[in-house]
Chains A and B, each alone.
Chain A
Amino acid sequence: MAQTLYNNGRTDQVLVEETGSVRTFILNRPKKLNALSLQMISQLTELFYANEEDSNVKMIILKGHGRAFCAGGDVSPIFHNARQGNWKFGANFLQKEYTLNYVMATYSKPQVSILNGIVMGGGAGASIHGRFRVATEKSVFAMPETAMGYFPDVGASYFLSRLPGFVGEYAGLTGSRLDGADMLASGLATHFVSSDKLPLLEQALVKVDTSDPDAISAIISHFSHIPKLKEESHYHRMKIINRCFSRRTIEEIIFTLESEASDKKDNWISSTIQLLKKASPTSLKISLRLIREGRLQGVGSCLVRESRIAYHMLRGEFTKDCFEGFGAILIDKDRNPKVCYIHLNMDNTELRFREPLPFIYSSFTYFQWEPSSLELISDDDVDRYFSKIDDEDWEDLKLPPRSNLPPYAIAKL
Chain B
Amino acid sequence: MEKVNFRIKVLSRHLNQETSTPKFTLESFPCLSYKPPELSEPSAVFDIKEMRKLVDGHNLEDREWLFGLMLQSNLFNPMERGGKVFVSPDHSQSKEQQREITMRRIEYLLEHGVFKKWFTGEGPENELRKLAFSDCIGVFDHSLGIKLGVHLTLWGGAIQFFGTKRHHDKWLKATEEYVVKGCFAMTELGHGSNVRGIETVTTYDSSTGEFVINTPCESAQKYWIGGAANHATHTVVFSQLIIEGKNQGVHAFICQIRDENGDICPNIRIADCGHKIGLNGVDNGRIWFDNVRVPRENLLNSVADVSPDGKYLTAIKDPDQRFAAFLAPLTSGRVTIAVSAIYSAKVGLATAIRYSLTRRAFSVTPNGPEILLLDYPSHQRRLLPLLAKTYAMSFAVNYLKKIYVNRTPEMNKVIHVVSSAFKAIASWHNMRTLQECREACGGQGLKTENRVGPLKGEFDVQSTFEGDNNVLMQQVSKALFGEYVAAKRSKKPIKGLGLEHMNASCPIVPSQLTSHTMRQAQFQNDIFCLRERDLLERFAAEVALCQAQGKSREYAFTLNYQLAEDLGRAYSDRAVLHTFLEAEASVTSAPLKNVLDLVRSMYTLVTLEEDAAFLRYGYLSTDNAAMVRKEVANLCGELRPHALSLVSSFGLPDAFLGPIAFNWVEANAWSSEQN
Contacts and interface: CB of A to CB of B under 8 A. Distances in A.
B654 A296 contact: yes
B658 to A, nearest CB: 14
Interface in B368-392: none
Interface in B2-56: 4, 7-8, 11-12, 14-19, 21, 36, 38-39, 48-49, 52
Contact of A408 (B14, B21, B72, B651): B14
B216 interface: no
B484 to A, nearest CB: 45
Interface stretch (A26-34, A37-45, A242-250): A242-250
B82 interface: yes
B662 A413 contact: no
Contacts of A246: 69, 72, 112
Given A161-B68, A247-B113, A379-B61, A412 B654 contact: yes
Which of the four size classes fits the interface of chain B? 35 or more
Contact of A413 (B52, B68, B84): B52
B663 interface: yes
A20 interface: no
Interface string B639-659: 000000000100101110000
A26 B19 CA distance: 25
Nearest to B645: A412
B36 A407 contact: yes
B12 A190 contact: yes
Contact of B17 (A131, A248, A292, A296): A131
Contact of B113 (A186, A248, A411): A248
B68 A296 contact: yes
B71 interface: yes
A293 interface: yes
B111 interface: yes
Interface in A243-295: 243, 246-248, 252, 289, 292-293, 295
Nearest to A158: B15
Contacts of A295: 64, 67-68, 71-72, 653
B36 A187 contact: no
B8 A164 contact: yes
Contacts, number: 104
Given A406-B83, A413-B651, A163 B11 contact: yes
B666 interface: yes
B48 A248 contact: no
A212 B21 contact: yes
Interface in B623-637: none
A243 B39 CA distance: 39
Contacts of A128: 15
A408 B654 CA distance: 10
30 contacts: A159-B15, A162-B14, A163-B11, A164-B4, A164-B11, A166-B72, A187-B12, A190-B16, A213-B18, A214-B21, A246-B112, A247-B112, A247-B113, A292-B64, A293-B64, A295-B72, A295-B653, A296-B64, A296-B68, A296-B654, A379-B61, A406-B17, A407-B84, A408-B14, A411-B38, A412-B38, A412-B648, A412-B654, A413-B648, A413-B651
Interface of A: 105, 108, 128, 131-132, 159, 161-166, 185-187, 190, 211-214, 238, 242-243, 246-248, 252, 289, 292-293, 295-296, 298, 379, 401, 405-408, 410-413
6 A-B pairs with the lowest CB-CB distances in the bound complex, closest first: A296-B653, A187-B12, A412-B648, A295-B68, A407-B83, A212-B21
Given A164-B4, A187-B15, A243-B111, 12 more contacts: A161-B68, A162-B14, A165-B4, A213-B18, A248-B62, A295-B68, A405-B36, A407-B662, A407-B666, A408-B83, A410-B36, A411-B38
